[in-house]
Amino acid sequence: MKKHKGKIQTGIVIGIFSVIIIACLISIFSRMYTENKEKEEFRQLAETVTEETTNTDTETEMIRKPNLLKVSNSVDEFQTEQPVYYTTYYEPHSISELISMNSECFSWISIAGTNINYPVMHTPSNPQKYLNKNFYGEYSYSGTPFLDSRCSADSTNLIIYGHHMNNGTMFADLCNYTDYSYFTEHPIVVLETKDGAFAYSVFSVMKVKSDDDWYKFTTVGMEKSYKTRIECAKEKSIYNTGITPVYGQQILSLSTCYGYNQDDRILVLAVRN
């Protein structure tokens, strides 16, 4: 009798674990399906608003690196870096069409050779509205990248947030910037707004906490304050990019989760050329 009861108890335990495992698998596959579905929706949106070009030359932006003051190891010596011209490719998008589809769209952001190719939303009165909503305002695991509610087009520092999705979408590729070689292969971020397309050169990659002081920096009026912020960002950078923004240049800060702690973040900072 005891053996019989033991078998029953064992069977119950196995049954419970089986149900839990099946429920977990269903949840995992359901989320994977949803995330891939959302990925396809963004692909279709990009396709819808991508402007047609008849010649590849129209997709070429000649970008000039900022004129930088490069200080040598000697305190007494310095030299001015010569302007360097190079080419970056991007697919132009119709921002006016995006805004007509959703007036809360601020811009389109893309980094060639990565999965980052999305609209950017801006809702000052509802800061995190698009944390879990798609471009059309419907619930979404992935959400949609969005501009910090305190920012405007002419802010000194444009802070854009995006999720780190397990399927590599949204801002997941930002974590690859911890590798210096990845930075050298993807040095340019393109931001398209109603005022035109602008290229930003990555100058710092920082691992920070969600309450880092950089998130408090949106606008500065004094050159000294600007320089102090930039110096701090350069010091915190996990490697030296060789680029130092100068006063008056706009900063673009891309933020996403990093690692396993809830408040860990990675910031990829770029300066407008």
CATH number at residue 187: 2.40.260.10
What angle is formed at CA 217 by the lines to CA 95 and CA 69, rounded to 5 degrees? 90
For 13-48, what is each residue's pLDDT tens digit? 666 666 666 655 555 555 666 667 778 888 898 888
The tokens for 260 are 């396993």
Domain range spanning residue 126? 47-272
What angle is formed at CA 117 by the lines to CA 128 and CA 246, rounded to 5 degrees? 80
39 in any annotated domain = no
42 in any annotated domain = no
55 in any annotated domain = yes
Buried b (16+ CB within 10 A) or exposed e, 117-132: bbbbbbeeeeeebbee
13 in any annotated domain = no
Tally the C-alpha atoms within 13 A of residue 131's C-alpha that lie toward its C-beta: 9
33 in any annotated domain = no
pLDDT: is 79 or 127 the higher one? 127
Nearest-angstrom CA–CA distance, 75 and 62: 34
Res 260: pLDDT: 85
Element (H, E) at 260: none
Q: Count CB-CB contacts under 10 A for residue 243.
A: 19
88 in any annotated domain = yes
Contacts of 221 by beta carbon, 8 Å cutoff, 6+ apart: none
For 211-244, what is each residue's pLDDT tens digit? 999 999 999 889 999 999 999 999 999 999 999 9
For residue 76, pLDDT over 70 is answered with: no
Nearest-angstrom CA–CA distance, 39 and 48: 14
27 in any annotated domain = no
Nearest-angstrom CA–CA distance, 89 and 3: 72
72 in any annotated domain = yes
Please tell me what DSSP assigns to residue 83.
P
First-to-last CA distance in the chain?
A: 81
**In whole angstroms, what separates CA 109 from the centre of its chain?**
8
> Across all residues in the chain, what is the average pLDDT?
82
pTM of the full structure: 0.80
For 154-194, what is each residue's pLDDT tens digit? 999 999 999 999 899 999 999 999 999 999 999 999 999 99
The residue among 124, 131, 128, 129 whose CA lies nearest residue 153 is 124
**Domains of the chain: total:** 1
The residue among 231, 210, 226, 201 whose CA lies nearest residue 164 is 210
Element (H, E) at 218: none
Radius of gyration of the chain (CA): 23
Nearest-angstrom CA–CA distance, 15 and 167: 31
